[in-house]
Amino acid sequence: MTIKEFFCIIIKYSPSPSNINYIWNFGSLLIIVLLIQIITGIFISFHYSSIIDFAFYRTIHIRREVYYGWLIRLFHINGASIFFILIFIHIAKAIINSSWKFINLWFSGIMIILLSIMRAFFGYVLPWGQISFWAATVITNILSAIPFIGKILVEWIWGGFSVSYPTLNRFFSFHFILPLIISLIVFIHILILHLNGSSNKISFLNLDKIRFDPYFTVKDLIGILIFTIIFLFILIYIPFYSIDSENFIEANPIITPIHIKPEWYFLFAYSILRSIPNKIGGVICLFISITIFIIKPFQIKIKIKFNWIKKYSLILFFYIFTILTYFGGKSIDYPFNSISIIFTIFYFIFSLII
């Protein structure tokens, strides 16, 4: 069997439920964005230097001197934000349709999310701006809360006693390698999906199935067209909306920014971390907040798929997620710290209910 015949069997002739709509397009859009990130990342790496004395200025050089470097970098920066917007919507769709019943598909998707979080964090450090440097310092210091080995582990990651040249060099290597690993897992994820068939809005036992191509190929193409228009609008009108202004200043270990925060797609977890008074407790809650969906296939199964408790719990969960993201970008002052504790409790309660 040739590669072409293999893909024809897996994708073109894959049986898919006839009642799925455009919400199922976000999987294909994620593949497009991942390809954009890999391609633009390769071009940026041609001109980037992971030496701390040059990293910030090489970033400026890419934006000002490299032919269309500003455009490539804007694609890469905004592509990261769009990737997480799409992945959050994709997760929401999976939760609504109880997709964790496909255990292999669910776990491969969770693995993609965890590796994408790591990749995004490593990439956030590379411009070597003020927020990049201090976010790397704060986030990696979290590991020092681990008993006995925490301090040793942090120094091993840093390659020294602070975030410096070895740290940046390692993060650059990991940021370059992880997308290749993610691509492999994405391929496995797609393979499992098309062998089992997609979930649907009514039931997993759906006998009304049609070929993937041409019916859903056309839907995917329409989704890609709409996505392209939105992406170009962001690049033209609000290209730096997701970037903290402090990150346009070169990293300085002596001057600490007033507010240190990660990128917006990490703010919900950062808010949970800050809301716990105990350091080790905050680290545990941070870890659980990201990995809690791993246990979904092992929860007590609800026979009625669309019941009012699940639907309203899901709406409240996304509301809580949004509030935590908003508070994660605020200073640790009253009333944000007190409210964050309440919403952290709600986050864990509703993540189990849904």
CATH at residue 123 = 1.20.810.10
Active-site option among 116, 261, 263, 351: 263
Indicate whether 287 belongs to any domain.
yes
Q: Quick one: pLDDT at residue 9?
A: 55
Both tokens assigned to 37: 């990130």
User: By C-alpha distance, which of 12, 9, 3, 1 is closest to 211?
Assistant: 12
**Per-residue pLDDT at 38:** 95
- We report the CATH number of the domain holding residue 288 as 1.10.287
Distances (CA, A) of 194 to 110, 221, 348: 18, 18, 32
Query: Is the domain of 185 the same as that of 225?
Result: yes
* Domains contained in the chain, number: 2
State the catalytic residue, choosing from 76, 93, 220, 261. Answer: 220
CA distances from 138 to 116, 125, 141, 146, 331 (A): 20, 12, 5, 15, 15
| 47 catalytic residue (yes or no) | no
Indicate if 209 belongs to the active site: no
Whole-number pLDDT of residue 206: 57
The answer to whether residues 323 and 350 belong to one domain is: yes
With contact defined as beta carbons under 8 Å apart, do 97 and 201 qualify? yes
**163 belongs to a structural domain:** yes
Of 242, 260, 278, the position where a domain reaches its end is 260
Per annotation, catalytic residue among 90, 175, 189, 194: 194
Task: Please indicate, yes or no, whether residues 285 and 255 belong to a single structural domain of this protein.
Answer: no
Active site residue 194: yes
57 and 110 housed in the same domain: yes
Residues 229 and 275 in one domain: no
Asked if residue 7 belongs to a domain, the reply is no
Q: What is the structure's pLDDT at 113? A: 92
pLDDT at position 173 is 93
Q: What is the pLDDT of residue 208?
A: 66
Nearest alpha carbon to residue 285 among 324, 257, 254, 315: 324
77 φ, ψ (degrees, to nearest 5): -65, -50
Residues 175 and 272 in one domain: no
Examine residue 5 and state whether it is found in any structural domain, yes or no: no
Q: 321 and 232, same structural domain?
A: no
**Alpha helices (runs of H) in 97-142, residue ranges in sequence order:** 103-125, 130-141
Taking a C-beta distance cutoff of 8 angstroms, is the pair 347, 313 a contact? no
Domain encompassing residue 277:
262-354
303 is an active site residue: no
Of the candidates 223, 190, 197, 189, the one whose C-alpha atom is nearest the C-alpha of residue 18 is 197
Q: What pLDDT shows up at residue 1?
A: 52
To the query of whether residue 263 is one of the catalytic residues in this protein, the response is yes
**Residues 157, 277 share a domain:** no
Per-residue confidence (pLDDT) for residue 261, from 0 to 100: 82
| Sequence-separated (6 or more) residues with CB below 8 Å from residue 312 | none
Catalytic residue among 12, 101, 209, 219: 219
Q: Classify residue 60: in a domain, yes or no.
A: yes
Per-residue pLDDT of the chain (354 residues; tens, 9 = 90+): 555 555 555 555 566 776 677 777 888 899 999 999 999 999 999 999 999 989 999 999 999 999 999 999 999 999 999 999 999 998 888 887 777 778 888 899 999 999 999 999 999 999 999 999 998 998 898 888 888 888 899 999 998 888 989 999 999 999 999 999 999 999 898 888 877 666 666 655 556 676 666 667 788 888 889 999 999 999 989 888 888 888 899 999 888 888 788 888 888 988 898 888 887 888 888 888 888 888 887 766 554 445 666 777 788 888 999 999 988 888 777 777 778 888 998 898 888 777
pLDDT at 231: 92
pLDDT at 8: 58
Q: What are the start-end ranges of the H helices in the chain?
A: 3-7, 26-45, 55-64, 69-96, 103-125, 130-141, 150-158, 165-196, 215-237, 267-275, 279-291, 308-328, 336-353
For residues 104 and 229, membership in a common domain is answered with yes
Q: Let me know if residue 282 belongs to a domain.
A: yes
Same structural domain for residues 268 and 245? no
Instruction: Give domain status of residue 201, yes or no.
Output: no
Q: Quick one: 218 and 290 in the same domain?
A: no
- pLDDT tens digits, one per residue of 163-207: 989 999 999 999 999 999 999 999 898 888 877 666 666 655 556
User: Quick check: is 3 in a domain?
Assistant: no
For position 6, what pLDDT does the model report?
A: 53
Q: From the candidates 50, 198, 340, 351, which is the catalytic residue?
A: 198
Same domain? For 156 and 224 the reply is yes
The whole-angstrom separation of Cα 268 and Cα 277 is 16
